[in-house]
Amino acid sequence: MFSHPNMSENTEIIENDTIDSNKAIVDGNENNKLPEAINQSETPLDEAETPSDEAETPSDEKHDNELNLESSETENLEKMILSTGIRVGTPVKTKSMSRYIVRANPEGLYILDISKTLYKIDVAAKFIGRTNIAKVAITSAREYGKKPVEKFCEATGATSILGRFMPGTFTNPSLPKYMEPEIVIVTDPQADQQAVIEATRAGVPVIAISNSDNVISKVDLVIPANNRGRKALATVYWLLAREVMKKQGKIKSDKDMKVTIDDFETKLVEEII
């Protein structure tokens, strides 16, 4: 891939991502707690022991109640994220995606490593945060990816390219909708193959949500996740939007995120009716 002007200042992030992602391997136990990347609070627990003969003050009790509430909210978020199928892959795996797979379930579907998914979302947000957000182009040929992309762009200011990708959009200056993005994000490197090819030719870094069966040879930064399911795609883009908005200073903490995963989700006809 040709070197893009924006790549020089971001090379360290991608290189560190490649090295550090190998440290994020967890075993295949579905009941494992998710890593702290999705915790809604980073309030440290006080490890100092209180003497048994010292009475607990009202302020201490209030603090404990707040910690219990935050812990409960975090646990609920973890369960909700797992319930969206974000880590459920396909019955097929490619050699390049094997590093992101922890096991196969009884139905024969490969299960993606959720810790790596969350880690890569954080890395992608840092990468995007160093770029003019208006120059970040996001494509989705998949129907279930359109609403999440729209909501992501609405929340962050990125530029969406939905439906069929017009050949030459990144390479032919004579086209009316020609653009020169600094980062391209694709919902599926297979369905959005034309966007990946043109970004590669133009030397533009590509971030891709990639399933177990995707070929990622032309992708610079992989977010391993289910890119077929509507709930899964809504979750990925919601998590990415939340992290990008924190980098932009639009929100200070996870609690400030007013839009929900449900807002990012494509609604079926019967749900609308």
* One-character DSSP codes across 118-154: HHHHHHHHHHHHTS-GGGEEEEE-SHHHHHHHHHHHH
- For residue 246, the model assigns a pLDDT of 95
Q: What angle do helix axes 230-248 and 114-129 make, rounded to 10 degrees? A: 40
What is the residue type of 183?
I
User: Rounded CA gap, 147 and 162, in Å?
Assistant: 9
Question: Would you state the pLDDT for residue 2?
Answer: 42
Whether the Cβ atoms of residue 113 and residue 223 lie closer than 8 Å to each other: no
257 and 242 Cβ atoms separated by less than 8 Å? yes
Pairing of strands 110-112, 101-104: antiparallel
**Closest Cα to residue 89, out of 161, 188, 196, 180?**
188
Rounded to whole angstroms, the Cα distance separating 114 from 35 reads 8
Distance CA(194)–CA(169), nearest Å, equals: 10
Q: Token pair for residue 264?
A: 């990012």
Nearest to 212 by CA among 86, 28, 34, 124: 86
Q: Locate tokens 């030719």: which residue?
A: 201
What does each C-alpha distance from 257 to 242, 243, 245 come to in angstroms? Answer: 7, 10, 9
Residue closest to 90 by CA, chosen among 224, 184, 254: 224
Q: How many CB atoms sit inside 10 A of residue 6's CB? A: 19
Low-confidence ranges of the chain (pLDDT < 70): 1-74, 269-273
